[in-house]
Amino acid sequence: MFAQIKTSGKAILIVPTASLDGTTDFQNNDSIAEFLRLRSGVTEWTNTSRPSSKFFVGYDSSNEPDENDPSRSYFQLVFGRTLYKIFVIEPGRYTITGVSYVLPRTAAFEAPGGRNIKPSSLGHLMLKAQKIDEFERGQKWEDASYRTETVEEDYCTSVRVVNNECMSRAKTSYDVKRQTSEAGWVPSIQQRTFEARNVTATIDKEFASFDIAAGEVVVTDGLFAEPPAAVLRNKSCKQADQERMRCELEQVTLVQLLGEVEEVRNSQNPADYGLPKLANILSELTYRQIDIKARETSGKSVWGPSYTLKAK
Protein backbone atom coordinates (compact mmCIF):
# COMPACT_ATOMS: atom_id res chain seq x y z
CA MET A 1 0.00 0.00 0.00
CA PHE A 2 2.68 2.52 1.01
CA ALA A 3 4.78 1.70 -2.05
CA GLN A 4 1.87 2.82 -4.23
CA ILE A 5 1.25 6.19 -2.55
CA LYS A 6 3.07 8.08 -5.30
CA THR A 7 0.94 6.50 -8.03
CA SER A 8 -2.38 6.04 -6.21
CA GLY A 9 -3.14 9.74 -5.84
CA LYS A 10 -3.17 9.50 -2.03
CA ALA A 11 -1.15 11.35 0.59
CA ILE A 12 0.23 10.41 4.00
CA LEU A 13 -0.65 12.72 6.87
CA ILE A 14 0.66 12.54 10.44
CA VAL A 15 -1.18 14.46 13.17
CA PRO A 16 -0.27 14.68 16.88
CA THR A 17 -2.69 14.30 19.76
CA ALA A 18 -2.32 13.80 23.51
CA SER A 19 -0.74 10.55 24.68
CA LEU A 20 -2.26 9.34 27.94
CA ASP A 21 -0.19 6.18 28.35
CA GLY A 22 1.25 5.64 31.79
CA THR A 23 -0.42 8.65 33.41
CA THR A 24 -3.51 7.04 34.94
CA ASP A 25 -3.95 5.40 38.33
CA PHE A 26 -6.58 2.80 37.51
CA GLN A 27 -7.16 2.15 41.21
CA ASN A 28 -8.43 5.72 41.68
CA ASN A 29 -11.87 6.71 40.36
CA ASP A 30 -10.97 10.40 40.03
CA SER A 31 -7.96 9.49 37.92
CA ILE A 32 -10.05 7.13 35.80
CA ALA A 33 -12.73 9.79 35.22
CA GLU A 34 -10.05 12.24 34.06
CA PHE A 35 -8.62 9.58 31.74
CA LEU A 36 -12.05 8.87 30.23
CA ARG A 37 -12.61 12.60 29.72
CA LEU A 38 -9.30 13.20 27.94
CA ARG A 39 -9.32 10.02 25.86
CA SER A 40 -12.74 10.87 24.42
CA GLY A 41 -11.67 14.15 22.78
CA VAL A 42 -11.80 13.77 18.98
CA THR A 43 -11.37 16.38 16.23
CA GLU A 44 -13.03 15.84 12.84
CA TRP A 45 -11.32 17.09 9.66
CA THR A 46 -13.16 17.16 6.31
CA ASN A 47 -11.94 17.58 2.73
CA THR A 48 -13.64 20.76 1.44
CA SER A 49 -13.96 19.46 -2.13
CA ARG A 50 -14.79 15.87 -1.10
CA PRO A 51 -17.02 16.11 2.01
CA SER A 52 -17.16 12.32 2.27
CA SER A 53 -13.38 12.26 2.86
CA LYS A 54 -12.86 12.74 6.59
CA PHE A 55 -10.44 11.69 9.27
CA PHE A 56 -10.73 11.77 13.07
CA VAL A 57 -7.87 12.59 15.43
CA GLY A 58 -7.91 11.60 19.09
CA TYR A 59 -6.46 9.14 21.56
CA ASP A 60 -9.58 6.99 21.34
CA SER A 61 -10.14 7.24 17.57
CA SER A 62 -9.94 4.00 15.60
CA ASN A 63 -6.51 2.65 14.75
CA GLU A 64 -7.52 -0.36 12.66
CA PRO A 65 -6.16 -0.21 9.08
CA ASP A 66 -8.91 -0.16 6.46
CA GLU A 67 -8.14 0.95 2.90
CA ASN A 68 -11.86 1.56 2.38
CA ASP A 69 -12.15 3.84 5.41
CA PRO A 70 -9.50 6.60 5.38
CA SER A 71 -11.04 8.16 8.50
CA ARG A 72 -9.15 5.53 10.47
CA SER A 73 -5.50 6.06 11.30
CA TYR A 74 -3.31 3.40 9.74
CA PHE A 75 -0.64 3.39 12.42
CA GLN A 76 0.46 5.42 15.42
CA LEU A 77 3.74 6.41 17.04
CA VAL A 78 4.43 7.65 20.56
CA PHE A 79 7.02 10.26 21.49
CA GLY A 80 6.86 11.24 25.16
CA ARG A 81 3.47 12.88 25.83
CA THR A 82 2.60 13.03 22.12
CA LEU A 83 0.73 10.40 20.12
CA TYR A 84 1.23 10.68 16.35
CA LYS A 85 -1.62 9.27 14.26
CA ILE A 86 -0.80 8.29 10.66
CA PHE A 87 -3.48 8.58 7.96
CA VAL A 88 -3.65 7.74 4.26
CA ILE A 89 -5.97 10.41 2.84
CA GLU A 90 -7.23 12.02 -0.34
CA PRO A 91 -5.35 15.16 -1.38
CA GLY A 92 -6.99 18.56 -1.05
CA ARG A 93 -7.85 21.20 1.50
CA TYR A 94 -9.01 20.06 4.93
CA THR A 95 -10.84 22.06 7.57
CA ILE A 96 -12.16 21.24 11.05
CA THR A 97 -15.87 20.43 10.90
CA GLY A 98 -16.58 18.99 14.32
CA VAL A 99 -15.44 17.78 17.72
CA SER A 100 -16.77 15.16 20.10
CA TYR A 101 -16.08 14.11 23.68
CA VAL A 102 -17.61 12.70 26.86
CA LEU A 103 -17.93 14.45 30.23
CA PRO A 104 -18.07 11.86 33.05
CA ARG A 105 -20.05 12.67 36.21
CA THR A 106 -22.02 15.35 34.36
CA ALA A 107 -25.77 15.71 33.85
CA ALA A 108 -26.54 14.80 30.25
CA PHE A 109 -28.95 17.61 29.41
CA GLU A 110 -29.52 21.33 29.89
CA ALA A 111 -32.78 23.08 30.72
CA PRO A 112 -34.74 23.75 27.50
CA GLY A 113 -34.68 27.29 26.12
CA GLY A 114 -37.64 29.19 24.75
CA ARG A 115 -39.37 28.94 21.38
CA ASN A 116 -37.90 30.21 18.11
CA ILE A 117 -34.28 29.60 19.06
CA LYS A 118 -31.98 31.37 16.60
CA PRO A 119 -29.31 29.12 15.04
CA SER A 120 -25.71 30.00 15.83
CA SER A 121 -23.41 31.05 13.00
CA LEU A 122 -20.69 28.92 14.62
CA GLY A 123 -22.70 25.70 14.63
CA HIS A 124 -24.50 23.48 17.10
CA LEU A 125 -23.91 20.56 19.40
CA MET A 126 -25.91 17.48 20.29
CA LEU A 127 -26.13 16.17 23.86
CA LYS A 128 -26.83 12.55 24.66
CA ALA A 129 -26.96 10.63 27.93
CA GLN A 130 -24.35 8.02 28.71
CA LYS A 131 -23.76 5.78 31.72
CA ILE A 132 -20.33 5.12 33.21
CA ASP A 133 -19.68 2.54 35.91
CA GLU A 134 -17.24 3.26 38.71
CA PHE A 135 -15.91 0.72 41.19
CA GLU A 136 -15.21 1.79 44.75
CA ARG A 137 -12.42 -0.29 46.25
CA GLY A 138 -12.11 -0.53 49.99
CA GLN A 139 -12.51 -2.87 52.94
CA LYS A 140 -15.46 -4.26 54.84
CA TRP A 141 -15.77 -6.10 58.13
CA GLU A 142 -16.81 -9.72 57.98
CA ASP A 143 -17.73 -11.81 61.01
CA ALA A 144 -16.25 -15.23 61.46
CA SER A 145 -18.02 -17.85 59.39
CA TYR A 146 -18.93 -21.38 60.39
CA ARG A 147 -20.33 -24.49 58.85
CA THR A 148 -22.09 -27.41 60.47
CA GLU A 149 -20.85 -30.91 59.72
CA THR A 150 -22.65 -34.13 60.59
CA VAL A 151 -20.38 -36.74 62.17
CA GLU A 152 -21.42 -40.41 62.07
CA GLU A 153 -20.09 -43.03 64.50
CA ASP A 154 -20.89 -46.66 65.14
CA TYR A 155 -20.64 -48.30 68.55
CA CYS A 156 -21.03 -51.67 70.17
CA THR A 157 -24.37 -52.40 71.80
CA SER A 158 -23.72 -55.97 73.05
CA VAL A 159 -20.46 -57.57 74.30
CA ARG A 160 -19.78 -61.24 75.01
CA VAL A 161 -18.47 -61.41 78.55
CA VAL A 162 -16.18 -64.38 77.99
CA ASN A 163 -13.87 -62.77 75.43
CA ASN A 164 -15.12 -59.20 75.27
CA GLU A 165 -16.24 -59.73 71.67
CA CYS A 166 -18.78 -57.24 70.27
CA MET A 167 -21.92 -59.12 69.35
CA SER A 168 -23.95 -56.29 67.84
CA ARG A 169 -23.36 -52.69 66.69
CA ALA A 170 -25.42 -49.55 66.09
CA LYS A 171 -24.86 -46.14 64.43
CA THR A 172 -25.35 -42.65 65.76
CA SER A 173 -24.80 -39.15 64.35
CA TYR A 174 -24.38 -35.65 65.77
CA ASP A 175 -23.64 -32.15 64.42
CA VAL A 176 -20.32 -30.35 64.90
CA LYS A 177 -19.90 -26.59 64.25
CA ARG A 178 -16.54 -25.76 62.65
CA GLN A 179 -15.06 -22.28 61.95
CA THR A 180 -14.22 -21.74 58.27
CA SER A 181 -12.86 -18.18 58.41
CA GLU A 182 -11.78 -15.70 61.03
CA ALA A 183 -13.44 -12.36 61.66
CA GLY A 184 -11.64 -9.35 60.14
CA TRP A 185 -11.38 -6.77 57.36
CA VAL A 186 -11.48 -8.04 53.76
CA PRO A 187 -11.12 -6.26 50.37
CA SER A 188 -14.40 -5.11 48.79
CA ILE A 189 -15.55 -3.65 45.45
CA GLN A 190 -18.77 -1.68 45.16
CA GLN A 191 -20.15 -0.72 41.73
CA ARG A 192 -21.80 2.67 41.22
CA THR A 193 -23.25 4.02 37.98
CA PHE A 194 -22.98 7.71 37.09
CA GLU A 195 -24.53 9.79 34.34
CA ALA A 196 -22.24 11.29 31.70
CA ARG A 197 -22.72 13.83 28.90
CA ASN A 198 -21.87 12.72 25.36
CA VAL A 199 -21.18 15.82 23.22
CA THR A 200 -20.97 16.01 19.42
CA ALA A 201 -20.42 19.48 17.96
CA THR A 202 -20.78 20.55 14.32
CA ILE A 203 -18.64 23.58 13.43
CA ASP A 204 -19.87 25.75 10.55
CA LYS A 205 -17.16 28.46 10.65
CA GLU A 206 -13.55 27.85 9.67
CA PHE A 207 -11.41 27.14 12.71
CA ALA A 208 -8.28 25.94 10.91
CA SER A 209 -7.26 24.42 7.59
CA PHE A 210 -4.32 23.00 5.63
CA ASP A 211 -3.60 21.75 2.11
CA ILE A 212 -1.96 18.50 1.08
CA ALA A 213 -1.11 17.25 -2.42
CA ALA A 214 -1.06 13.73 -3.82
CA GLY A 215 2.11 11.84 -2.94
CA GLU A 216 3.10 14.15 -0.08
CA VAL A 217 4.21 12.86 3.32
CA VAL A 218 3.34 15.57 5.81
CA VAL A 219 3.18 16.18 9.56
CA THR A 220 1.00 19.05 10.81
CA ASP A 221 0.19 20.48 14.20
CA GLY A 222 -2.70 18.90 16.04
CA LEU A 223 -5.73 20.69 17.44
CA PHE A 224 -6.83 18.66 20.44
CA ALA A 225 -10.49 18.79 21.48
CA GLU A 226 -9.67 18.79 25.19
CA PRO A 227 -13.04 18.44 26.93
CA PRO A 228 -15.05 20.52 27.42
CA ALA A 229 -14.04 22.06 24.08
CA ALA A 230 -17.44 23.55 23.23
CA VAL A 231 -19.47 26.17 25.09
CA LEU A 232 -23.19 26.29 24.38
CA ARG A 233 -25.21 29.48 24.15
CA ASN A 234 -27.40 30.23 27.15
CA LYS A 235 -31.04 29.14 26.80
CA SER A 236 -30.42 27.71 23.34
CA CYS A 237 -31.22 24.04 23.95
CA LYS A 238 -34.18 22.07 22.66
CA GLN A 239 -35.05 18.39 22.56
CA ALA A 240 -34.10 17.13 19.09
CA ASP A 241 -35.39 13.55 19.26
CA GLN A 242 -36.09 10.82 21.79
CA GLU A 243 -32.46 10.60 22.93
CA ARG A 244 -30.71 13.87 22.05
CA MET A 245 -30.88 17.57 22.81
CA ARG A 246 -29.64 20.24 20.39
CA CYS A 247 -27.89 23.39 21.67
CA GLU A 248 -26.39 26.31 19.75
CA LEU A 249 -22.65 26.93 19.92
CA GLU A 250 -21.25 30.01 21.63
CA GLN A 251 -17.57 29.16 21.20
CA VAL A 252 -15.12 26.32 20.57
CA THR A 253 -11.64 26.04 22.09
CA LEU A 254 -8.98 23.64 20.82
CA VAL A 255 -5.45 23.05 22.06
CA GLN A 256 -2.50 23.16 19.68
CA LEU A 257 -0.01 20.29 19.83
CA LEU A 258 3.10 20.97 17.79
CA GLY A 259 3.96 18.40 15.15
CA GLU A 260 7.71 17.82 14.90
CA VAL A 261 9.49 15.93 12.10
CA GLU A 262 12.32 14.89 14.42
CA GLU A 263 9.92 13.56 17.05
CA VAL A 264 8.29 11.29 14.48
CA ARG A 265 11.67 10.03 13.29
CA ASN A 266 12.91 9.47 16.85
CA SER A 267 9.83 7.51 17.97
CA GLN A 268 9.20 3.83 17.26
CA ASN A 269 10.47 2.40 13.97
CA PRO A 270 7.50 1.11 11.89
CA ALA A 271 9.84 -1.53 10.42
CA ASP A 272 9.92 -3.17 13.86
CA TYR A 273 6.15 -3.66 13.53
CA GLY A 274 6.26 -5.20 10.05
CA LEU A 275 5.93 -1.95 8.09
CA PRO A 276 9.35 -1.39 6.46
CA LYS A 277 7.89 0.55 3.51
CA LEU A 278 6.25 3.02 5.89
CA ALA A 279 9.60 3.48 7.61
CA ASN A 280 11.19 4.32 4.25
CA ILE A 281 8.43 6.76 3.34
CA LEU A 282 8.79 8.63 6.63
CA SER A 283 12.29 9.63 5.52
CA GLU A 284 10.50 12.01 3.11
CA LEU A 285 8.49 13.60 5.94
CA THR A 286 8.09 17.39 5.90
CA TYR A 287 6.25 19.83 8.16
CA ARG A 288 3.09 21.59 6.94
CA GLN A 289 1.84 24.60 8.87
CA ILE A 290 -1.90 24.85 9.40
CA ASP A 291 -3.79 28.10 8.94
CA ILE A 292 -5.55 28.83 12.23
CA LYS A 293 -8.40 31.33 11.97
CA ALA A 294 -9.27 31.11 15.67
CA ARG A 295 -7.63 33.47 18.15
CA GLU A 296 -5.08 32.37 20.72
CA THR A 297 -6.51 32.68 24.22
CA SER A 298 -5.19 32.32 27.75
CA GLY A 299 -6.13 28.70 28.22
CA LYS A 300 -4.88 26.56 31.10
CA SER A 301 -4.21 23.35 29.19
CA VAL A 302 -1.04 21.44 30.02
CA TRP A 303 -0.90 20.20 26.43
CA GLY A 304 -0.25 23.49 24.63
CA PRO A 305 -1.65 26.92 23.68
CA SER A 306 -5.42 27.30 23.35
CA TYR A 307 -7.27 28.79 20.37
CA THR A 308 -10.90 29.93 20.54
CA LEU A 309 -13.43 30.59 17.79
CA LYS A 310 -16.60 32.45 18.78
CA ALA A 311 -20.00 32.77 17.15
CA LYS A 312 -19.73 36.56 16.88
Confidence at residue 215, expressed as pLDDT on a 0 to 100 scale: 92
Per-residue pLDDT, averaged over 172-189, amounts to 91
Taking residue 309's Cβ as centre, other Cβ atoms within 10 Å add up to: 22
Per-residue pLDDT, averaged over 263-290, amounts to 88
Per-residue pLDDT, averaged over 209-225, amounts to 97
Residue 199 pLDDT more than 90?
yes
Confidence at residue 70, expressed as pLDDT on a 0 to 100 scale: 58
Give the residue from 182, 113, 105 showing the smallest Cα distance to 141: 182
* Per-residue pLDDT band at 6 (split at 50, 70, 90): low
Distance CA 59, CA 54 (A): 17
Task: Write phi, then psi, for 79 (nearest 5 degrees).
Answer: -135, 105
Confidence at residue 312, expressed as pLDDT on a 0 to 100 scale: 81
pLDDT tens-digit map of 21-77:
777 888 888 899 999 999 999 999 999 999 999 999 998 765 554 555 555 677 889
pLDDT tens-digit map of 233-243:
999 999 999 99
Confidence at residue 224, expressed as pLDDT on a 0 to 100 scale: 97
Q: Give the residues across from 11 on adjacent strands.
A: 89
pLDDT tens-digit map of 258-274:
999 999 999 988 888 88
pLDDT tens-digit map of 122-141:
999 999 999 999 888 888 99
Residue 112 pLDDT more than 70?
yes
Confidence at residue 233, expressed as pLDDT on a 0 to 100 scale: 95
Spell out the domain ranges in the chain: 2-133+196-310, 144-182
Mean pLDDT of the chain: 90
When comparing pLDDT for 8 and 257, which is higher?
Answer: 257
Instruction: Report the share of the chain in percent with pLDDT over 90.
Output: 66
Confidence at residue 122, expressed as pLDDT on a 0 to 100 scale: 98
Confidence at residue 268, expressed as pLDDT on a 0 to 100 scale: 84
